[in-house]
């Protein structure tokens, strides 16, 4: 029988034929796709014709087309619906794919052709995007070691293969720890919890085959449990289990893996002549240098810590009044912060959540995209990879723009967190192709599914990433969508969060799930007014992780990352009751692949721009101002990585912003 992964996909929108795919199809499909890619690469390298853009750079863009198509399916499934067969294949594939990439960048004949095109570029009549793609291709080869001697290339290939295997192991260990812990809750354990949380815990129990409610390590359950449970003993047990992911000893312990990853990254950077991995990693980013990153983070750290310390004193007083013994602990902060929020802002999550049904918030995000960019969303009746996933066709003025897949509910087979990925990206080179983009979240289940304000913000954040894919309009796939500098990629996502707070959008979509009544204006206004509440905590926990990440990579790799983490946090004066958002053993952003390594700062770097970018709409007097939205689409959302990030932002805004809008947006500005 024909392997469905290798056949032409002739179904609607050329989507993967999920119903026909078996796990056993992936291994032979990858073998065939790798063989086809190697043959094309060899043909490009051996081409007797004079090296030009089309027969070298353009050909490279399409050389691994089957492999890219296959990887888009497999790795989306491995993250959102893992099973033992997929995990085993992922472990097997990681070093093989790394070896293939090393083969390509280590191909001397191929690199010689790239260098020939580079040398002749002035006379080739290239347009701006072609020049950009040529520069990026050459830079990627150089940064992968294409100019090293044979021994250096061999060592680089070995490092990359080992890092790929370690990153996969790190992620799978984390998922195993998250999947392996639960606590059954009796009636007494549920006292004081709001009804919506009890329902979510019951749904989690049903999903795990248990007769009653259970607490798992899904963030959508742990965080509200820490907010609402009056039982300090249960909060401590839950927090310790959450904090111990990846550090429980045994086969799933990630601490030695993290140490080896850091050592290999340092060696990789030094092979290429860089003093540290951070210097290597930041060279192509907007920030350029570790010193620039540290300056930004520390400028925000001091006011954030001061705010957090003041809040800690207030929360400690509440703990003491309750008869609590000892100092405020990490498992106390969210509980007392939630009580204080109710006192200061008259806000109760149990009052808010019925107005934030999942389907209503999806509709709100679609509505904002429609009013800004003229997009329309039509539900599709398709068989996808899991019953929870659903799809929409995105159109504009009758033109097909993309397929959007939403997979929103937590389940044991899904890694934690929320993310945006693409089954395929947009391009014109090699034939017009529109994106198939996916948002994956981990919201607690229920009937209906009700979101917290933070959940709704996460939904808008990930949909901002999706818009980067949906509106992409470039020729070459390598610069499409989110293929931009790491510290620029969060701009569209963080910017789109602002529309969640637009009163007109909330009035239209934030309606009570039972009565259909709109959110009362007074509640809406209190909710928006409380946007900076507890920002000392949120900013400090984030910055602690970002600064530890930077320190790990900006100098010699620590032999004992946990000891070094403790040193960094002590030097910063991290408040006792605020943990890092992501401690080393479960810091998947940094260790489950290279994506955010030495780059976790990127969220704050982008926030400097997103605060300023939304101000452009405010200055226009309309959050849906058509002219401002058109500039945003033209210069940022549709442009992908077709120009330098700073060039794109200046084209949109006319200048680069300072840090002041960020501080003001977090309520940390002086005075």
Return the active site residues.
462
Instruction: State the pairing for strand pair 419-424/399-409.
Output: unpaired
| DSSP assignment of 386-448 | STT-EEEEEEETTEEEEEEEEEEE--TTS-SS-EEEEEE--B-TTS-B-EEEEEEEEE---SS
How many whole angstroms separate alpha carbon 416 and alpha carbon 423? 19
Cis amide prior to 491 (ω within 30 degrees):
no
Here the contacts of 380-386 (C-beta below 8 Å, separation 24 or greater) are 380/12, 382/12, 382/15, 383/18, 383/19, 384/18, 385/16, 385/18, 385/76, 385/77, 385/80, 385/81, 386/80, 386/81, 386/411
How many whole angstroms separate alpha carbon 408 and alpha carbon 649? 31
- At 235, give phi and psi (nearest 5°): -60, -40
What Å distances lie between residue 185 and 16, 116, 384, 502, 667, CA to CA?
A: 41, 67, 34, 39, 38
Nearest CA to 326 out of 215, 236, 438 is that of 236
Sequence-distant (≥ 6) Cβ neighbours of residue 127 within 8 angstroms: none
Nearest CA to 420 out of 435, 400, 433, 432 is that of 435
Name the helix (H) or strand (E) containing 216: strand 214-216
Tell how many helices (H) and how many strands (E) occur in the chain: 27, 7
Residues forming beta bridges with residue 184, ordered by sequence position? 214
How many whole angstroms separate alpha carbon 200 and alpha carbon 213? 8
How many whole angstroms separate alpha carbon 466 and alpha carbon 515? 31
How many whole angstroms separate alpha carbon 4 and alpha carbon 461? 34
For Cα atoms 334, 537, 175, give the angle at the middle one, nearest 5 degrees.
Answer: 70
């Amino acid at each position: 029988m024909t392997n469905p992964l290798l056949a032409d996909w002739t179904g609607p929108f050329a989507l993967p034929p999920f119903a026909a795919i078996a796990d056993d199809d992936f291994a032979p499909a990858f073998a065939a796709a790798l063989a086809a890619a190697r043959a094309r690469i060899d043909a490009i390298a051996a081409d007797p014709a004079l090296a030009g853009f089309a027969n070298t750079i353009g050909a490279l863009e399409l050389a691994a087309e089957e492999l890219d198509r296959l990887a888009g399916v497999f790795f989306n499934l491995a993250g959102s619906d893992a099973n033992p067969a997929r995990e085993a294949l992922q472990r097997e594939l990681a070093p093989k794919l790394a070896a293939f990439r090393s083969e390509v960048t280590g191909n001397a004949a191929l690199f010689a052709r790239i260098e020939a095109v580079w040398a002749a570029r002035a006379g080739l009549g290239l347009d701006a995007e072609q020049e950009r793609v040529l520069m990026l291709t050459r830079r990627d080869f150089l940064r992968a070691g294409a100019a090293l001697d044979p021994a250096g290339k061999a060592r680089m290939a070995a490092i990359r293969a080992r890092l790929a295997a370690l990153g996969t192991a790190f992620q799978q260990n984390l998922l195993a720890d998250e999947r392996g812990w639960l606590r059954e809750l009796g009636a007494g354990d549920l006292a004081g919890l709001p009804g919506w949380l009890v329902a979510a815990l019951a749904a989690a129990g049903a999903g795990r085959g248990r007769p009653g409610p259970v607490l798992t390590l899904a963030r959508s359950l742990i965080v509200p449990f820490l907010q609402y449970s009056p039982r300090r003993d249960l909060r401590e047990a839950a927090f310790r289990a959450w904090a111990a992911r990846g550090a429980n000893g045994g086969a799933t312990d990630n601490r030695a893996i993290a140490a080896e990853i850091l050592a290999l990254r340092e060696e990789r950077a030094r092979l290429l002549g860089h003093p540290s991995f951070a210097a290597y990693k930041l060279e192509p980013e907007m920030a350029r240098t570790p010193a620039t990153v540290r300056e930004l983070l520390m400028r925000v750290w001091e006011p954030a810590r001061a705010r957090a310390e003041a809040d800690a004193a207030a929360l400690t007083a509440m703990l003491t009044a309750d008869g609590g013994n000892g100092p405020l602990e990490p498992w106390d902060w969210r509980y007392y912060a939630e009580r204080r929020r109710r006192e200061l802002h008259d806000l109760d999550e149990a009052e808010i959540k019925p107005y934030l049904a999942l389907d209503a918030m999806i509709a709100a995000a679609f509505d904002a995209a429609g009013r800004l960019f003229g997009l329309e969303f039509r539900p599709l009746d398709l068989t996808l990879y899991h019953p929870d996933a659903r799809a929409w066709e995105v159109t504009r003025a009758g033109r097909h723009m993309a397929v959007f897949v939403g997979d929103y509910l937590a389940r044991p087979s899904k890694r934690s967190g929320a993310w945006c990925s693409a089954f395929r990206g947009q391009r014109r080179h090699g034939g017009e192709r529109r994106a198939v983009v996916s948002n994956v979240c981990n919201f607690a289940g229920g009937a209906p599914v009700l979101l917290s304000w933070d959940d709704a913000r996460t939904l808008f954040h990930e949909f901002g990433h999706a818009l980067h894919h949906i509106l992409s309009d470039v020729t070459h796939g390598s610069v499409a969508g989110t293929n931009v500098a790491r510290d620029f990629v969060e701009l569209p996502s963080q910017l789109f969060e602002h529309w969640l707070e637009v009163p007109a959008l909330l009035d239209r979509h934030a309606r009570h799930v039972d009565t259909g009544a709109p959110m009362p204006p007074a509640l809406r206004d209190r909710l928006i007014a409380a946007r900076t509440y507890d920002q000392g905590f949120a900013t400090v926990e984030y910055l602690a992780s970002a600064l530890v990440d930077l320190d790990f990579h900006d100098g010699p790799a620590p032999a004992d990352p946990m000891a070094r983490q403790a040193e960094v946090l002590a030097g910063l004066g991290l408040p006792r009751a605020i943990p890092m958002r992501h401690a080393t053993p479960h810091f998947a952003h940094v260790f489950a692949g290279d994506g955010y390594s030495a780059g976790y700062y990127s969220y704050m770097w982008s926030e400097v721009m997103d605060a300023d970018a939304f101000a452009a709409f405010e200055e226009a007097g309309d959050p849906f101002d058509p002219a401002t939205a058109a500039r945003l689409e033209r210069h940022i959302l549709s442009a992908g990585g077709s120009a330098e990030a700073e060039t794109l932002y200046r084209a949109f805004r006319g200048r680069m912003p300072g840090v002041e809008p960020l501080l003001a947006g977090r309520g940390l500005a002086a005075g």
